[in-house]
Structure 1
Amino acid sequence: MQNILITAADNKYNKISCRRNKMNTPDFRNYKNAEIDKTIDAAMTSLRTITGNSMDLNIMNVKICSVSCALVSIEGMISTSAMSELIFRPIMELSAQKSKGNSEQVFDFLTKESLLAAERKTVFNYGDVIQFLFSGFAVIFVEGLSKAVVYGIQGYDKRSVSEPASEQTIMCAQDSFTETIRTNISLVRRRMKTPSLRFEMMQIGKRSSTDVCMVYMSDRASSDAVDRLRKQLKGIKLDTVLTSGYIEPFIDEGFGSSVFSQMAYSERPDMICTRLNQGRICVFVDGTPFVLICPSLFAENFQTMDDFAEKPFYVTFMRWLKYIAFFLAVAFPGLYVALASFHPEVFTLKLLLNLAVSEESTPYPLTVEVLVLMLLFEIMKEAGLRLPKPVGSTVSIVGGLIIGDAAVKSGLVSAPLLIVVGITTTSSFVIPSLYQQTAILRLVYILVGGGSGLYGIALCTVLLMININSMDDLAVSYTAPVTPFFSKGIKDVISRRSFRSYEKTHSTIKEYKLDEKGGSQ
């Protein structure tokens, strides 16, 4: 029965649209540029047709000063209390004061003579009506007018601001972004009270029409980079955009050819404000708590917000400790396999004898042992990540202890190798932003180390350095300020400048911009 009603509504809508030449074809999918019907009945029929008479479409027919009107909303997307206070009460008071009026007078009251809601806009086509409806706005149609007014009274359920889950700090702010883009924007604006902070909202996704906001500081960011990123975002033709990962391949030029990415993510508002002050461009996507930072540098993966709350000498120590941890997470297993298989002379005699005795009791080659242990670790890590938190942590700890102990006692792996794997896996968690890269590079180093020794390790390192140095998204080298060398920013790589030095000079990402030949400007 419902299908028959929808079909009848489709036919009526198609006849109206064809008769008034508002659409080129009688297909209701071409509604975006169609003007709003002047009569309430025709407008409501068009809305039902466009939405397929969806059950969450709420239509309330009312009379305001003897003029027929319709209030349309989407169930669960608006605040009923806000609607009662901001719309129903003023309209009832107007009707009590003025019994008669015409359509223009009613529309002027809704748009000019009242403060029904902070967000208010006039729309003239069904495309804008649908966009606002599905964004939590209420729409009021007035009889005899081919336009409508929308009010922002959103009231859908959302997660409150909570502590960051992936970027823990000790002495810094403990709030993080949520899945609501306007809440995230307010968290940034609350910290950066400067008029140079710009927010540019756009919709990406043919079907999802996801709100995407490009944020930058006009006096810090490069105007060329802003124009280029804006063009890349508007050129995305995906049907749906649900997370920042959907748009990253379209704005990261080396996404498919480089191991690393020049786009960074952060769920911390204070980190985003820091990057904005350095001239970066950030991209907010509605529905995800992680904000995209364009462009990022390799050295920034070893920096945290706690660096700005601690003594410079301790920050220097921790920064170098992270560099060592990154080396151990990537190359330590492969280096161990290469030395034990091809260059045993580097070990002391006592250590070499212990390694030889341990390896003699294992049935598989050293390279196979390391690969098996690393793959088992990745399986346990993934299981602990996907399971509920109370169960996941227990599975990871108990599984690691039982499997590790049983593997050594059964003679499948050697005890020294288990120590190497333990040090490697622990080091990989020191730099969580580079975990994907370290997990893959670790396996590559194990294979080349077991296949050709230190020669393979050296060759793999050279190829990796070439790949990293070739990244220059938005005309900024990924390895700056090391290569090309910038003396002003090199101190932030090996240490942390004092805040007194920030008073004198403040560097931005524009200083690392490359010229047309690929050199530093």
Structure 2
Amino acid sequence: MKKGIKLKSNGTNEKKGPETATIDTTEESLQKTLHISRDIEENKNILDEKLGVGKSFDLICREMNFGGKDFAIYFVNGFANSDVMTQILKELANLKREDLVPNTLKHLIETYVSHIQVNKIKTINEANDNILSGQLVMLIDGEKEGLVIDVRSYPGRTPQEPDTERVVRGSRDGFTETLVVNTALTRRRIRDERLRMEIQQVGERSKTDVCIAYLQDVADPGLVNLVKQKIQEISIDGLPMSERSLNEFLIGRSWNPYPMVRYTERPDVAAQHLLEGHVLIYVDTSPGVIITPTTFFHHVQHAEESRQNPMTGTYIRWIRFFGVIASLFLLPLWLIYVYEPNLLPHSLEFIGPKDTSKIPIFFQFILAELGIDLMRMAAVHTPTPLATAMGLIAAVLIGEVAIKVGLFVPEVILYLSIAAIGMYATPSYELGLANKIARLIFLLAVYLFKIPGFVFATTIWLIVLTMTNSLNTPYLWPFIPFNFHAMVNILLRKPVPFMNKRPSIVHPQNQNRQ
């Protein structure tokens, strides 16, 4: 029986007898599954080479002796909670040899390592992954297994209300960049033993933790398996953009600008969708949770509607619908009336442009659209103390002065402002941007072909959305295919006691909510 694997500094393969073998230090060989050896020096040589201990300042190996046994303690400086580690080492420092033998690991786990999460590992690869994830790995001379102690304390912020999903009344907590905090915020709202949170690692180099959450007796098993399969099939070195990168693997390669999944940073919204039967995906380092599957109408709903009474919530919802429709169709329809003034009734002639400009109306719209996007990007990058000054520049110089010099007619600024407000009133930021791209296409079609161009463009737009599927879910459901009861729930914010059925689009195992 082989005792272990020993690294030679010259990187050559050499047999030394039945008890010991040597391997080279090439990257290919280090990626193989290596079992922890009883010889702690062999384990240290391999781990030091793989992790770059001595080269990377934040990867630390402490060599210590407790109870007459040599220990090698690996951790990443900055991840490990120093107070917890100090307490553990103090307890180990008081041990005698008779406290550890025989069955050293059993004594450590059951008696002397006073920590909640302690697990055994058998391979060097497991040790490597756990160290890089921020956990403390303890190797003991003479033992073929190591210990993993979760002493992680990730740098992060406290839960606070997300800027993009604010409500007047309601909870003020929001997801953070730490995975365990996000799952805890969800479990705080759903204390059900059937809530499952399964974790996987994605990325050959980043090894990003990805959690799949669902209610075991509610969510469609086919949907759960589909999501798991797509995540398991991801082959990439890392997910630096976290949930955004994962989404593109999940949905597939597409130039369709419309969002196929919904993002939320609110734990109450996440819990609501779990109860409906959706599958949620949490990605470590991201405050955004992916909700699957979703339709177009999921992106026009907001938590504020559920925080008000049914009548007020319905009113707010309809105002949002008006904003979404205005952001799409107001500008191309007005441009049609500019080109075809005879279509306007005499009572509505006032909506047309009273002044003229040397720049065609279509190009005025394009310049103004680009100007708004430029100001939006400038607002994101402008330091807070300068934001007011930037707003004055945008309002006074770009708006008023541009009209006075004849660059824009006043009506262009007016209607474009209404469309922009409708875009920002859209609850989903991704949907608002997609609608903006659709609006530009509609404007171009009207400019080139007038009314036939608008009809053709909107028909193609509707056909594309109809043919779009998000994880085998029709994107325009319940409008196409039509579902009367679901459509009523979209148009009206019904009282909670009346919402006793889960949405059929997610194919829940249990349709009754009450």
Partner SS for 1:140: strand
Does the 8 Å CA contact 1:73/1:136 hold for their aligned counterparts? yes
Shift in CA distance, 452/128, structure 1 to aligned 2, threshold 3 Å:
same
Shift in CA distance, 170/228, structure 1 to aligned 2, threshold 3 Å:
same
1:24-56 Cα shifts (integer Å, max 9, x gaps): 984366335112232222222222111223221
1:403 alignment counterpart: 398
1:486 alignment counterpart: 483
1:379 alignment counterpart: 374
1:293-343 Cα shifts (integer Å, max 9, x gaps): 1111211222112222212122222222211111111121122222201x1
CA RMSD of aligned residues (A): 2.4
CA distance in 1, matches of 2:137, 2:351: 78
1:400-432 Cα shifts (integer Å, max 9, x gaps): 332011111001111111111111111111104
Aligned residue runs from structure 1 range 78-117, under 5 A: 78-85=80-87, 87-93=88-94, 95=95, 98-100=96-98, 104-117=102-115
CA distance in 1, matches of 2:460, 2:503: 31
Does the 8 Å CA contact 1:18/1:24 hold for their aligned counterparts? no
1:3 alignment counterpart: none
1:246 alignment counterpart: 245
CA distance in 2, matches of 1:385, 1:18: 62
Does the 8 Å CA contact 2:176/2:287 hold for their aligned counterparts? yes
Shift in CA distance, 307/353, structure 1 to aligned 2, threshold 3 Å:
closer
CA distance in 1, matches of 2:374, 2:23: 55
Does the 8 Å CA contact 2:300/2:321 hold for their aligned counterparts? yes
1:50 alignment counterpart: 50
CA distance in 1, matches of 2:113, 2:62: 21
Give the AA of the match of 1:79. Answer: N
Q: CA deviation at 1:105?
A: 3.1
Partner SS for 1:474: coil
CA distance in 1, matches of 2:63, 2:453: 76
Does the 8 Å CA contact 2:168/2:304 hold for their aligned counterparts? yes
Between stretches 195-204 and 41-50, larger displacement belongs to 41-50
Instruction: Name structure 1 gaps, 5 residues minimum.
Output: 1-8, 514-521
Give the AA of the match of 2:386. Answer: V
Question: Identical aligned pairs, as a percentage?
Answer: 21
1:519 alignment counterpart: none
Shift in CA distance, 117/481, structure 1 to aligned 2, threshold 3 Å:
same
CA distance in 2, matches of 1:170, 1:185: 25
2:65 alignment counterpart: 63
Give the AA of the match of 1:252. Answer: I
CA distance in 2, matches of 1:314, 1:329: 23
Shift in CA distance, 406/512, structure 1 to aligned 2, threshold 3 Å:
farther
Between stretches 119-128 and 102-111, larger displacement belongs to 102-111
1:41 and 2:36 aligned = no
Does the 8 Å CA contact 1:404/1:418 hold for their aligned counterparts? yes
Does the 8 Å CA contact 1:68/1:142 hold for their aligned counterparts? yes
1:281 alignment counterpart: 279
Of 459, 463, 466, which residue of structure 2 is paired with 1:466? 463
1:121 and 2:119 aligned = yes
Q: CA deviation at 1:348?
A: 4.9
Give the AA of the match of 2:369. Answer: M
2:224 alignment counterpart: 226
Give the AA of the match of 1:320. Answer: W
CA distance in 2, matches of 1:65, 1:175: 47
1:505 and 2:506 aligned = no
1:319 alignment counterpart: 317
Partner SS for 1:473: coil
CA distance in 2, matches of 1:357, 1:512: 56
Partner SS for 2:425: coil
CA distance in 2, matches of 1:59, 1:372: 60
Q: How many residues align?
A: 496
CA distance in 1, matches of 2:371, 2:92: 66
CA distance in 2, matches of 1:310, 1:12: 70
Aligned residue runs from structure 1 range 222-371, under 5 A: 222-242=220-240, 243-253=242-252, 256-341=254-339, 343-348=340-345, 352=349, 355=352, 357-359=354-356, 362-371=357-366
CA distance in 2, matches of 1:119, 1:17: 40
Give the AA of the match of 2:374. Answer: I
Q: CA deviation at 1:484?
A: 1.4
CA distance in 2, matches of 1:16, 1:65: 35
CA distance in 2, matches of 1:49, 1:345: 80
1:256-295 Cα shifts (integer Å, max 9, x gaps): 0533222110000000001111111111000110011111
1:30 and 2:30 aligned = yes
Instruction: Name structure 2 gaps, 5 residues minimum.
Output: 1-5, 510-514
Between stretches 156-165 and 106-115, larger displacement belongs to 106-115
Shift in CA distance, 144/401, structure 1 to aligned 2, threshold 3 Å:
same
Partner SS for 1:199: strand
Does the 8 Å CA contact 2:154/2:178 hold for their aligned counterparts? no
Partner SS for 1:488: helix
Does the 8 Å CA contact 1:266/1:272 hold for their aligned counterparts? yes
Partner SS for 2:315: helix
Partner SS for 1:42: helix
Q: CA deviation at 1:481?
A: 1.7
Give the AA of the match of 2:64. Answer: V
Does the 8 Å CA contact 1:201/1:213 hold for their aligned counterparts? yes
Give the AA of the match of 2:35. Answer: E
1:439 and 2:436 aligned = yes
Aligned residue runs from structure 1 range 173-192, under 5 A: 173-192=171-190
Q: CA deviation at 1:189?
A: 0.6
Between stretches 486-495 and 269-278, larger displacement belongs to 486-495
Partner SS for 1:358: coil
Partner SS for 2:479: coil
1:43-75 Cα shifts (integer Å, max 9, x gaps): 222221112232212222222211111222111
Shift in CA distance, 241/14, structure 1 to aligned 2, threshold 3 Å:
same
CA distance in 1, matches of 2:135, 2:50: 17
Give the AA of the match of 1:251. Answer: L
Partner SS for 1:475: coil
Does the 8 Å CA contact 2:13/2:23 hold for their aligned counterparts? no
1:144-199 Cα shifts (integer Å, max 9, x gaps): 22321010011232111112111111112111100000110000011100011100
CA distance in 1, matches of 2:396, 2:264: 33
Give the AA of the match of 2:360. Answer: P
Does the 8 Å CA contact 1:264/1:296 hold for their aligned counterparts? yes
CA distance in 2, matches of 1:259, 1:366: 26
2:3 alignment counterpart: none
CA distance in 2, matches of 1:316, 1:102: 68
